[in-house]
Amino acid sequence: MDFCPAGSTDLSEAEEAEIEKIRQHRQELLEDIKKLKEEIAEVFAEIECFQNAEERPEADNNPEEQTSKLSQRDKLLSLGRKKFNMDPAKGIQYLIEHQVLSSDLQEIARFLHKGEGLNKTAIGDYLGGRDPTNIQILQAFVACHQFANLNLVQALRQFLWSFRLPGEAQKIDRMMEAFANWYCKCNPGVFQSTDTCYILSFSIIMLNTSLHNPNVKDKPPFERFVTINRGIDNGGDLPEELLKNLFESIKNEPFSIPEDDGNDLTHTFFNPSREGWLLKLGGRVKTWKRRWFILTDNCLYYFEYTTDKEPLGIIPLENLSVRKVDDPKKPNCFELFNPNCKGQKIKACKTDGDGKVVEGKHQSYKISAATPAERDEWIEAIRTSITQDPFYDLVSARKKKIASKN
């Protein structure tokens, strides 16, 4: 179906150019759809081939057939890993249905702990689930770690390398609770309660950020670390020598955060905090352009089309603020700005006309929503993303629990 009759004289040059652009994009989408259909057909053909081979009993007595079965299992495992990285629950279900994994929770936990080919962010999301099954798998996963005779920093290094902590406070709480329980079980007598281990673990994680994040100018001294952790051991103080060793360990070597294997950006956009069409004012050339925005993981991404795989630009929200502003040309505007560095360009990136990634040109970002309600919802979502630091809330709640006991 064409968008207008060929040779129509009712359109301006700009409108005709826009329609031609839409036609080209439509053709690209059709080609992408065709390729996807072909890939899906190939996958289903392989699966059918695997299933047929598994149903032939004579394969058990034929070495070549057994080798073929191993190869088929490897292909199913590879496909299951890809499914897991896109949707962890469906990936596990697929592997169980195709008998690559059993439904034994210990086996699933070992599979996640081994982690070969698995996205560390997806592992974290799955382990943080609130279903009883997820919680049991989390406990079995934590028990795969050998924490005996390790100090708390050493144990945290091992634990935090095996997945990426999710951003949701309740998930973090469940995972760190399981860690504290297992650490105390492996090292009886180090702390008077698991609450002590839980709070100190968060203090260490926050210390790591404070000491090694270049945006944090006020580096905490050891004395402040001691003060923060006063009274957390069932109302008493932890030995200063223990705290000193933990402090120096983090100061000398920050935590290593695992890098994901190419699926991280794709995975990022599956559960955004907010997404939708907005108008963005250019940085160097002051024109308004319609862009598809996605807010997730303390970053604002914008795309030319909803179907684009790569963003045109990325705006990290760290150290930024957001506010309503008026504009003579567009209604319902809000602005992203750095309140501490007026006149300086915001640290952001975009792709130029040649597809190269370059530094953004904005001292602030002015954005227009379709309605006042949408503007207010975006402002609220961005503010939540900027200020969201669940660690402090979780530690505060646990300290109140200890205080109430004493």
HSE, side-chain direction, 13 A CA sphere, residue 139? 9
Tally of CB atoms within 10 A around 245: 13
Backbone φ and ψ for 2, nearest 5 degrees, come out as: -85, 160
Distance CA 248, CA 242 (A): 10
Q: How far is CA 99 from the centre of its chain?
A: 29
Amino acid (one-letter) located at 256: S
Q: Which two tokens stand for residue 179?
A: 């860690």
The C-alpha angle with vertex 260 and arms to 256 and 263, in degrees rounded to 5, equals 165
SS3 at position 279: strand
Q: Which two tokens stand for residue 23?
A: 């036609």
Backbone φ and ψ for 308, nearest 5 degrees, come out as: -65, 140
Distance CA 131, CA 97 (A): 20
Alpha helices in 229-299 (DSSP H): 240-252, 264-268
Strand order in the sheet with 364-368: 321-325, 333-337, 364-368, 274-281, 288-296, 299-303, 313-316, 349-351, 357-359
- Residue found by looking up tokens 């069932």 in the block: 234
Distance CA 331, CA 142 (A): 52
The C-alpha angle with vertex 254 and arms to 229 and 386, in degrees rounded to 5, equals 75
Positions marked active-site: 168
Q: Which of 306, 305, 304, 319 is nearest to 350 (CA)?
A: 304
Distance CA 230, CA 236 (A): 7
- Residue by residue, DSSP assigns 8-62 as -SSS-HHHHHHHHHHHHHHHHHHHHHHHHHHHHHHHHHHHHHHHHHHT-GGGGG-
